[in-house]
Chains A and B, each alone.
Chain A
Amino acid sequence: MNKIETKNLNLYYGTFHALKGITMSVKANTVTALIGPSGCGKSTYLRLFNRMNDLIPGVKIEGDVLLDEKDIYNNKGMRIDELRKKVGMVFQKPNPFPKSIFENVAYGLRVNGMNHASFVEERVETSLKQAALWDEVKDKLKKSAFALSGGQQQRLCIARALAIEPSVLLMDEPASALDPISTAKIEDLIYELKNKYTIIIVTHNMQQAGRVSDKTAFFYLGDLIEYNDTNIIFTNPTDPNTQSYVTGRFG
């Protein structure tokens, strides 16, 4: 059974054809890396699964996007906030809210009507532990999230996404704004999280894609050029474009 699937998916920004007939499926509890040069459509593709593209005026989407084999766009029973509870997202730059560490993690629970105090506390603690941040912040939960370092902020954002117990985690270049040590921590974390979540990660960093992902998809000018096991993509790609990209000859 496929966790996530798109069938012949086209996306337009006004007249610009940003995604061209993408058909692709992702199994549960795997890490899938989306790679490709800037503007190839990989971030746009990522943002399909929690419907973040809806926020941009003039976007038109054709084709099917399935989550747990249910269409998430043309489906009256699927409310957008319900979808976003199932599909968490971590952004390129750490973007904590101007609130305390605790309230940042509790945010998703509160906006979805889960306000019971002991439940929230327990969930915040679990999420922070999952994000490997608990030991560093357990004594300063009431402090502003801005007081944390960049790497800690990003792990806080991951904890925030985990708190509402999604089954899918979308990561849009989650380590691109971080130093190498923080990046390594995030990568370890991704490896851990794979046991519970299905992860899709956009990255510009080939080594990172190689280290963390099971499968890799190469996008180029809105087309899905090649999608296969990560070791095949990096060692024996079929398409010459993929070959030159993963070996660093363009992009």
Chain B
Amino acid sequence: MAEEMAAPGGRPVLEAQGIVKIFGQHRALDGVDFTAHAGEVHALLGENGAGKSTLIKILTGAYQPDEGELRLDGTPIQLRNPLHGQSFGIGTVYQEVNLLPNRSVAENLFLGRQPTRFGLVDRAGIVRRARELLARYGLDIDVRAELSEFSVAVQQIVAIARAVELSGKVLVLDEPTASLDRNEVERLFDVVRGLRADGLAIIFITHFLDQVFALADRVTILRNGTRVATQPLAALNTTDVVRMMLGKDMAFEHHPSALAGGPRGAVRVEFKGIGRKGMPPFDLAIHEGEVVGVAGLLGSGRTEVARLMFGVDAAEGGEVRVDGEAVSVRNPAQAVAAGFGFCPEDRKLDGIFGDLSVRENIIIALQAKLGWFRALNHEDQIELAGRYAEALDIRAASHDMPVKLLSGGNQQKVILARWLAIDPTFLILDEPTRGIDVGAHAEIVRTINRLREEGLALFVISSELDEVVAYSNRVVVMRDREMVAELEGDAIAPEAIVEAIAGTTREARA
């Protein structure tokens, strides 16, 4: 491939070919190719669920591929675990520094391979060598001090130094800048550039596009477990990258004209000045029978808005009105009392009660709303679960089986059913189609449209642009924790959304 030839560095160091990884029925990676060259920074991009972390875990040995092959310097290798990967020269640095915060910097650098003298740990030697090592990274610190005394940036560099010392061929940086400020990021980048000059192959994972453009030579973009592209960044602009991350292909259906500028009902819910520390206040009114779609990259503040709306994070100031009446939404229980429902992004962690039955999972929110004294009797529960399972076509052998045995799509429908059971006025869906198969995907989109027709107000967050376009009356675009654009009617088109998302990053580069 021409683009492979255009790699700035030298020979391929780590190659992955046709990698397939299957979890249950879900193909997390479906035949992905990836090559890291010596002396390049190779960015790996993709939204949540695209397969980034699965690929990284396979490259570092944490997972074993179901199909496909890894080659290191042309020789096929099979990695049993990350330690094994390390011994081949593949080191990883994670967002959360996983060193020992209560030990000294020097000890952290040499942990597990302390130099010894006469069978004892050579403390003076460790300190001296640690100083020499960090000097190469431009770090002049007291290596005898505890690691936790230093900033995250310094800890990151220590972690990198350790990884490079141990491995030295391939360095995987997994969201290393997530908790760094601007100057610290620059400092880290200088270190990475130095390592690149030394001929290391560096794989860089982040969701900050401007950092990708600032540091990386090539980019590989994943989407839904497949590789969309591998290209030199010099030939790309932000819009191209966003488009590849979000859009399947840009030729898909236009915004359904039925949604364009149609008559809207009265305002159902209104948020005024809702915000909190790190999340600037926002205003938003959602009408009866309206779907407000939310587009934006990971980390743009999409989920934070949803959490504020539902009281998961209590807002500092601002007011919420439902049908014109002020309501208090300081916690989820109050949100439920106000008729709100929320299908969270992380189904397993925040959504389902794995060991409880399908029936119990469906009735739980209504039961919580009724309070513990007014118990739904068994017959009512069966009726409710049956009704909503039928309406949403939940496929389960029995409603008494634990919900954890259902597929992801059916679990998502169970959570949706849970909220429909409280007869909600306003529904928040955070990535409702993530991690579910294509068939269930289409059903969820149809359901969203049906709920809108029935007069519900919906706030739907999605990384799938075609989806957002297909059901939204209005699209709010988020960037850097703010709502930066609002598209309505005919203006709702994937291209326009991509432009709006890319906005800032492009300006920053200009």
A binds B: no
Q: Which B positions have Cβ atoms within 8 angstroms of A?
A: none
Q: Which A positions have Cβ atoms within 8 angstroms of B?
A: none
